[in-house]
Amino acid sequence: MEELARLDDVEEAAAGDGHLLWAAQGQHDGRLGPGVRAWRHGTALAVASPDLSGRDRLAVKGGADDATHLVRHLLGDLGPSYRPVGQASLIETLIGAVPGLSPIPEFYWMETSTVPDSPALGVEWLDEVRVKEATSLFDRFFPDSFAQPEDGIAHRWAGIVDSLGSGTPPEPLAVAADVWSAVGCGFMAAVCTHPAARGRGLAQAVCGFAIGALVRRHGRAALMVHADNPSAIAVYERLGMSKRLLAAAQVVSP
């Protein structure tokens, strides 16, 4: 087992896998993100990323035998808060081979390296005042989002500010965050639309705007979405994103 200290080494071992590259949280000086560590064993690569999108994540890829050896060894050192995450079939194998692992519902990793050809009329990067106003949107309709307007985690927020009707003041009606982006992989999360404004294409406009900006800056834009959210998946597919089924496992016993 070899520990990898540089982003270039992780990029080589990841072989184009955006999920592993994102987990590395690479810096412009070639280092991995704060607290991030990575290891290679045979065909397997594992990247341990603390508190990334609300979780301590152990992103993993590679052949079943090599990945099993790597994950079994690393979980003993990293501790039970880390969750192996990877291709759904690989995680299923790990659950059967590593004692103490329990499955978590599957989700899609979606990404694109192409700027969407989608209208983004009315979308802008929100200033501090509008970001603060978006707090109410999350308090009412998305309180369990891992990124919130008031927590300062996001690099920036894209949004549409408009009125819900005559006599009502303009407010953020649809927003999305550029958050947990890193060298080689921009990341979008915290997509939220006011229920009264749905059906107007606002979410697609905001997401298209944000994805385009991430691709231009990082060369790739990615996100994660629950597998049982077909409406959101359809929006992202219309914006040119491809999907890959991932799964995770949690440690439930030593």
Q: What is the pLDDT of residues 160-187, one digit of tens each?
A: 999 988 778 999 999 999 999 999 999 9
- H-type helices in 186-245, by residue range? 202-218, 230-238
pLDDT (0 to 100) of residue 120? 83
pLDDT tens digits, one per residue of 147-158? 999 999 999 999
Decide if pLDDT at 197 tops 70.
Answer: yes
Q: What is the mean pLDDT of residues 33-43?
A: 97
Q: What is the mean pLDDT of residues 59-80?
A: 96
- Supply the pTM of this predicted model: 0.94
Taking CA atoms, 180 is separated from 36, 152, 186, 231, 234, in Å, by 13, 12, 7, 24, 23
Decide if pLDDT at 254 tops 60.
Answer: no
Decide if pLDDT at 43 tops 90.
Answer: yes
Structure tokens at 41: 């064993």
Q: What is the mean pLDDT of residues 89-106?
A: 96
Going by C-alpha positions, the residue among 1, 3, 5, 48 that lies closest to residue 23 is: 48
pLDDT (0 to 100) of residue 253? 67
pLDDT (0 to 100) of residue 200? 92
pLDDT tens digits, one per residue of 99-142? 999 999 999 999 999 999 988 889 999 999 999 999 999 999 99
- H-type helices in 111-172, by residue range? 128-141
Query: How does the average pLDDT of the chain come out, rounded?
Result: 96
Going by C-alpha positions, the residue among 217, 128, 136, 233 that lies closest to residue 178 is: 217
pLDDT (0 to 100) of residue 77? 93
Domains of the chain (ranges, CATH numbers): 2-111+246-251 (3.40.630), 123-219 (no CATH)
